[in-house]
Structure 1
């Protein structure tokens, strides 16, 4: 079973200004099994739970306010959560209260408040996914937070899903090789707990992963996940992430690094080599020759991130490391320009 190696107890994650909440992964799967409205109601009530993520005074009004579920069905969904043992009602009347029947620990999923209540004037992600009327889509979205490890993977673990890039040796200059990378497909480890509910076997025993990819594509189309191509030391499990090559957001540091790496690599190529790379639409990256196993791997990353101390530390480290790589590639390009004119 896949385990996220940097899972920490709730108190160690550090809730930054009360901007995330936690649920139990197994209880979440149970809620989704009861029904879509019940799963949505479960998230809304959890969003407004107390600091211990165990009790909540949110009820029908909150579900009605933040989703498109009608009042009568919201009330019924909460009642179903109580009946199935996912919630225990601790106070009745016009201001009811509930206790979650989960024990938070290693199976905790840390979620940003914004997925329920939204940011600015946007429709909250949970409501967007509810409108799809696909409970498994909502389940996958939430469970991806469990397998996202920003510190070690830069996003969702590549032991669950990743994009593969074919590497081409385009050219050489001095101590550098210039590699060009071409995307060749998206892959999933269908036996992992996050992917298994979205796959099936046909009569011959062949695994159908189509539903998983369809749901991943839906999340990407709603911009709830983004694909980040990241240079790794190798495509082996031991290969560490080195630097990103863009996200598609032109104002991001990651995109600036990608553009700088491409420009540095292009400056080392002959005209025919560069023309060939452009025809194949390759991502160009110059690397020192001892990094002979360098690989580019597409990592999926959730757009909304819980504002925990772990997330803040990852962001700070990514900025510091990214600025260093930006300087490296800008220096390479400047040196090549000087050599060409000198």
Structure 2
């Protein structure tokens, strides 16, 4: 599926004929007047900020009149969103962008996306959400397709008042993006850390491993030759066996572990998760860069890209 930029005429058509307020998620609709809205009017970025809409009808009127390139809404709720003052609370959000995945099985160059890497982003989003449900006990988790990937948005009351430091700890845990400390290691490596480490190592080949500092070619070849045993050791939390399989000394082993953990952290944009004033693409709006609808996804297992195609795309191709 080829993704093309929407023309100004197509944007106008979308917001005049296709945009529907019923596609706004309830968690946004019910807090609409408390959110800051931002707009990219011409493809140069969301510079038109500090907007507030008291009703969905006012929002619809704006969209139909301006047909913006992109539409954003804050994860934060404010007393005065038009001034970004009186912060009340913020969703916990994860941004998994297919174009920025550290490891891809497709041939997309950096900054590009295809159906395959979007599906990989979908599976990562499901994985992260499952961890938040099972390990952190979170329940109010929704997904939205962003045009080039997926957003996870968490609205549990216990999570929405967290400060940046606490949000950082959540993202590090969920992604496996930090090596557990000696204190947390008393009972061994956590299952989520082992799973993330194994997933990342499984996706590595010789070329990608060569980017790890301190790994000689002979060590890389040993690790790849024993990849299945290495994966078994990682999943079992027996990382000392991994060190033995590859013939890694303590310093080289730490560098290898640092490399895997850094890749883990790059599966999501951590700055989004910790930023309590971030704006994200509005579900129901148009991502004009790729001519796709940003949309709430109720069933991630059954999501298909075709679900997000605006009508003008099929008309364009007919």
- The higher-RCO structure (CA 8 Å, 6+ apart) is 2
TM-score tier after normalising by the smaller chain length: under 0.3
The two structures have a TM-score, normalised by structure 2, of 0.27
The two structures have a TM-score, normalised by structure 1, of 0.26
* Structure with more helix by fraction: 2
